[in-house]
Each structure stands twice: as structure tokens, then as C-alpha cells.
Amino acid sequence: MIIRKKENWLRMLFIWKGSVLPQILFRLLLLLFISIVIVYFRGSFFNYKIQLNPGPFTLFGIALAIFFGFRNNVSYERFWEGRKLWGSLLNTTRSLTRQAQTLVQTEDKEEINKFVDLLISFTYALKHQLRHTDATNDIAEISGENLANKLKPATYKPAMLIKEMGLWVKKHRLKGDFDSILTVSFDQNLSELSNIVGGCERIASTPIPYTYKVLLHRTVYIYCFLLPFGFVDSLGWMMPVIVSFIAYTFVALEAVADELEDPFGLEPNDLALNSLCRTIENTLLELSDRDLKTPTPEKDYILN
């Protein structure tokens, strides 16, 4: 996720890092070259003049912009739902930590900290599952090698950690450290963790239909590569510049939509899951009266 202070309006025009321009620059340069060739030959191809009226391009461009608006709304909705789920994760883990710290009738602080460590391990395990990486090292560092080795073969480590937390609740309920009412409250919050995992998995495993993306992709590029023939006569040598600017708008919108479609990835505009995990870890450590971990310095202004 890109985090930077508000820039001057003039400087914003020249920002490179964090924009999608590096990804689409080659395509824009290719279109610029083709447009220059077309204007040089005045829209002729093997002595055959390709005459396209600019009127239909104007009308079709408006329709394409509306189509893109819908496409970007769908992608941003997925991004925002992912952020709300991780916000809910922060709130739920805080509630569970507070319950363990203040309501469980035990003087064994190590046992309470063990439950809090399970919550922290769960947070990191969810991040790794969404990014298809291995959570074993993080779980070992937080909750110990024994639990890490136990969960190493598991495919869905967050679900297994919820099970471990459920077993912790069961053990202390049988010991009489809290009553049935508190057990229900713990169970409700653990179920909320399950709902958060399910919501994140739904976003990660259900992309926007492929045929929908192909249709939009083809339409954009066919439109952009036909555009020079429609404006070559009316714009002359300014046509390559104008066409490249129009293409930048549509191609960049497509690139942004593709980035936001999967909010849990490692693209610059995806959710900063590493930073969110560190935030949750530090707030739970603080609630447990333990030392906070020093935040890892972020590279430049991009959080991942």
C-alpha cells in the first residue's frame, strides 16, 4: 500500500514510483510509434486510405469509460471489503485478549500469554495463507517450535490455530477458570475469527470472471489501435500525442483495476498486510503488558 504525504499539484504530474506508468510504458510507446507511422503515411496502408470518422470513437469512448467505471468499482469493492475484514480482525483479537487478561480467573500469566500468542500467530498465518507463503517460521518465533512443527503439514493453518484456541478455552473451562457465559463469549469471538478467514478466502479464491476481463482488455486495445486512423486527418502531427494520452487513461485504469482485484497480493497498491500484522501484534503485546516489537523500517513509502 502506498503511503505518502499530500503532494503539490505540479509534482503530482511527475510522480513515477507508485503509479502504474512503469507497467504500461512499453505499450504506450508502441502505440505512440504506430501513431507516428500512421500520421507519416496520412492513414494510408499499401496505398489504400483507411478512413474512419472520429464521431463513433467519441461515442464509443464514453460507453467504454462507463464500462471502466463499473469495472473499477467492482475491484475497489473487493479491496475495501478486504480492508474491513482486517479491521474486524484487529477489533476481535483485541476483544479476545481483553477477555483473557481480565476475565479468566487464573494467576498464571504465562498461560494467558500463550493464548495471546496464538492470536498473534493466527494473524500472521492468515497473511501467509492469503499470499501463498509458508507461515512456519513466524509461528515458531511467536508460539514455539512445537506448535510450528505440529501445524507445518496443515493446509489451512489459520483454521487449525482457531482450533488450538478453542482447546485452550475448553481446558480452562474444565479447570473452572471461567463460567459458561464467558465460554459462550469466547466462542462467539472465535466464530468471528472464522468468519474473517472465510471472507478473506472468498475474495482470494473468487476472481472477477475471466471472460469479463478478456472482453474489456480486447475492447480497450482494439479501440486504442484504431483511434489513430480516426483522428489522423483532423489532428495531424498532434494526433500521436493526443492518442497516447487517451490510451494512457484507459490502459492505466485497466492496470489499476487488475491490482485492486486481489487486495492481498504484493503489488504497490495492495493491502499492507505486513504492517497490519505488526500493528495487531504490538497492540496485543501492549494489552498483555509486554514489550512492543520495534516496527521494521519500511522501504521508501510502500508498505507491503
C-beta separation of 64 from 250 below 8 A = yes
Report the distance separating Cα 193 and Cα 122, nearest Å.
9
Which residues are CB-contacts of 82 (< 8 A; sequence separation ≥ 6)? 200, 203, 263, 264, 271
Give the chain's end-to-end CA distance (angstroms, integer).
6
Which residues are CB-contacts of 38 (< 8 A; sequence separation ≥ 6)? 228, 229, 232, 239
- Judge whether 215 lies within some domain: yes
Q: What pLDDT is stored for residue 169 in this prediction?
A: 93
Host H or E run for residue 212: helix 210-235
- Judge whether 36 lies within some domain: yes
- Lowest mean pLDDT segment, chosen from 63-67, 89-93, 131-135, 185-189: 63-67
C-alpha cell at 125: 498465518
Residue type, 100: A
Report the distance separating Cα 74 and Cα 72, nearest Å.
5
- Judge whether 268 lies within some domain: yes
Average pLDDT, the chain: 88
- How many structural domains is the chain composed of? 1
- Judge whether 296 lies within some domain: no
- Judge whether 293 lies within some domain: no
- Judge whether 253 lies within some domain: yes
> Does residue 300 register a pLDDT over 60?
no
- Judge whether 1 lies within some domain: no
More confident residue, 43 or 176: 176
Report the distance separating Cα 149 and Cα 154, nearest Å.
10
Q: What is the pLDDT of residues 234-292, one digit of tens each?
A: 888 899 999 999 999 999 988 888 888 899 988 888 899 999 999 999 999 999 988 88
- Lowest mean pLDDT segment, chosen from 97-101, 106-110, 243-247: 106-110
Q: What is the pLDDT of residues 4-35, one digit of tens each?
A: 667 676 777 777 777 888 889 999 999 999 99
Question: pTM of the prediction?
Answer: 0.86
**Could you give the maximum distance between any two Cα atoms of the chain, in Å?**
92
Mean pLDDT calculated for residue range 174-178: 88
- Write out the residue range of the structural domain in which residue 165 sits: 9-287
Confidence of residue 293 (pLDDT cuts 50, 70, 90): confident
- Judge whether 109 lies within some domain: yes
